[in-house]
Amino acid sequence: MSVEQNQTDVRSLSGTITVPGDKSISHRAVMFGSIAKGTTTIRGFLMGEDCLSTIRCFRQLGVRIEHVGDEIIVHGKGIDGLKEPSEVLDVGNSGTTIRLMLGILSGLSFYQTVIGDESIAKRPMKRVTKPLRSMGATIDGRDEANLTPLSVRGGNLTGITHTSPVASAQVKSSILLAGLQAKGVTTVLEPHRSRDHTERMLQAFGVNLLITETGVSIEGGQSLQGGGVVNVPGDISSAAFPLVATAIVPNSEVKIQNVGINPTRAGILDVLKKMGAQLTVSNEREQSGEPVADLTIQYKKLNATTIDGELIPRLIDEIPVLAVLATQAEGKTVIKDAEELKYKETNRIDTVVDQLVKMGADITSTNDGMVINGPTPLYAATVDSFGDHRIGMAFAIANLIAEGETTILRKEAVAVSYPNFFDMLKDLSR
C-alpha cells in the first residue's frame, strides 16, 4: 500500500512533548501481570499494535485484561491460572511478544500454536527454542523450530546455564521466564549487557534474582505477586525520532518530558553527546523501578563518531535514525558490531542503506553495520519502510531536511510503536 507523505516545508521544530509509553516495559507489564497473583494496574501503557498483540494473546490464554480510561488492568491468577487457548496465538509483528511468550508457554503442559505476520515468519526463533527445548519443552516448527508457525507443549523443565552468543533481552527474558517454572537454577550469560527491564520488573513483582556483570540467575518455583501499579515511562526509542529531528533541523529546540533513561537503553544519549549535541538531561527521578528524565535538545552542527561494542545493544533500535543523523554530521561515522540489525523487523542494514542511498546519502553497508560520510544534502525520493515501523519513522525524519517531497511507502507501519507519530511531527513543525 502506498501512502503519500504530506509534510509541508519545515523551517524549524519547537515545543514540549511526551512520547508514547515504553514498548519493552509495556509488554512485560501485561505478561508479568498475567502470570502474577492479583490485579496489576498499568499506567502509560503503549497502545501500539505490538503491545495490543500481547494483550490479545494473554486474553486468549484466559487472563481478564481490561482497558479502563487510560489504564490497563490485568487480573492475574498466577502462572497456573493460564488456560489452553482454543485458537492459534497470533503475535502480529512483535518479536518481543513471541520470544517472551515462548518462555512462559514452555512451562505449561497444554498445547499451543504460535504464529505472526510475514516479518515474524522470517525472524530466527531458534535462539530461544533451542535453549527452551534443552530445558525440556517440546517445540516444533519449520527449520527445526526456527521459524513460525511454532507448536509448543511445555512442562517439566529443568534449569540450564545458557551462554547467549548475542546480547539479546528477548533471549535472556524468554529463558528466565522458563527458568521461573524449572527445577533448580537457570542462568543466562551474555557477551554484553542487554536491556534489563525484565530483571527490574520481576524484582518489583517479588522475584529473587542473582544479577552479576555477565549474567542473571533465577531459582525455579518462585511466584509473582501482583497488586501493584506499573507506571510506564516514555519510550527512549520513540524519543529518538524527535531528538534526531531537532538536532538536524536548524533553529530547533524541543523538550521531551518523562522519558525512560535506563542505562541499558540510553546509548543514544551518549552518542548524541559524543557527537557534540546540545542536549540537557533534567528532572532525573525513578518511576516503577526505572530511571526517568526530561530531555531538552537544540539544533547544533555535529561531528561524526564510531558506534560499536557495548554501545550497540544500548541503542540497537535507534540505529536507523542515527544513520539519518550521521548523514548530517561532519566526517565519517562508522557503525559496527551490529550484525543483529539483520534480524529485526527487516534487515535494517540493507533497508537503511538502500533507502538512504536513494535520497543521496554517502552510505555503504558492511557485514556488521554501515559507514556514513557527512554532511551531505538529502533529496526527495520514493522510499519504502517495508512494513518496518522504525524505518518508516527514520525516513520521515530524513524528509524534514530533504529538498522536495518524499514518498514513504507503507508508512502506516509506524502504528506498531508510535501511533500518533505524524501528528507529533506536525505539532512540532514551524
The site for ligand S3P (CB under 6 A) is made up of: 24, 96, 168-170, 173, 194-195, 316-317, 340
With respect to ligand S3P, which residue has the nearer C-beta, 168 or 217? 168
Give me the least distance between CB of 174 and ligand S3P, in Å please.
9
3-state secondary structure of 360: coil
Q: How far is the CB of 27 from ligand S3P (least distance, A)?
A: 6
Nearer to ligand S3P, 149 or 191 (CB): 191
Shortest Å, Cβ 236 to ligand S3P: 12
Q: What is the DSSP letter of 193?
A: P
Q: Which residue in the list 235, 317, 384, 388 is annotated as catalytic?
A: 317
Amino acid identity of residue 382, one-letter, is: T
Secondary structure of residue 216 in the 3-state scheme: strand
- Measured torsion, CA atoms of residues 233, 99, 94, 367, in degrees rounded to the nearest 10: 100
CB of residue 201 vs ligand S3P: minimum separation in angstroms? 11
- Which is closer to ligand S3P, CB of 87 or CB of 118? 118
CB of 195 to ligand S3P, least distance (A): 6
For residue 320, report the phi and psi dihedrals to the nearest 5 degrees: -55, -45
Tell me which amino acid residue 63 is: V
- Helices within 159-205 (DSSP H only): 169-179, 197-204
Is 317 annotated in the active site? yes
- Tell me: is residue 410 an annotated ligand-binding position: no
195 is in an annotated binding site: no
Annotation-wise, does 168 bind a ligand?
yes
Smallest gap from Cβ 23 to ligand S3P, in A, equals: 7
User: Is 276 annotated as contributing to ligand binding?
Assistant: no
Question: Which neighbouring-strand residues pair with 217?
Answer: 187, 210
Closer CB to ligand S3P, 103 or 374, in the complex: 103
Report how far residue 160's alpha carbon sits from residue 302's, in angstroms, rounded to the nearest whole number: 46
Given a contact cutoff of 8 angstroms between Cβ atoms, the answer to whether 205 and 226 are in contact is: yes
Residue number with CB closer to ligand S3P (132 or 329): 132
Known binding residue 348? Answer is yes
Q: Is 117 assigned a ligand-binding role in the annotation?
A: no
Nine-digit cell at 406? Answer: 518524499
Question: Which position has the grid cell 499506567?
Answer: 43
Say whether 11 counts as a known binding-site residue: no
9 among the known binding-site residues?
no
What 3-state class would DSSP assign to 401?
helix
Q: Write out the binding residues for 3-phosphoshikimate.
A: 23-24, 28, 168, 170, 317, 344
Q: Write out the binding residues.
A: 23-24, 28, 95, 123, 168, 170, 317, 344, 348, 390
Q: Write out the binding residues for phosphoenolpyruvate.
A: 23, 95, 123, 170, 348, 390
Residues annotated as catalytic are 317
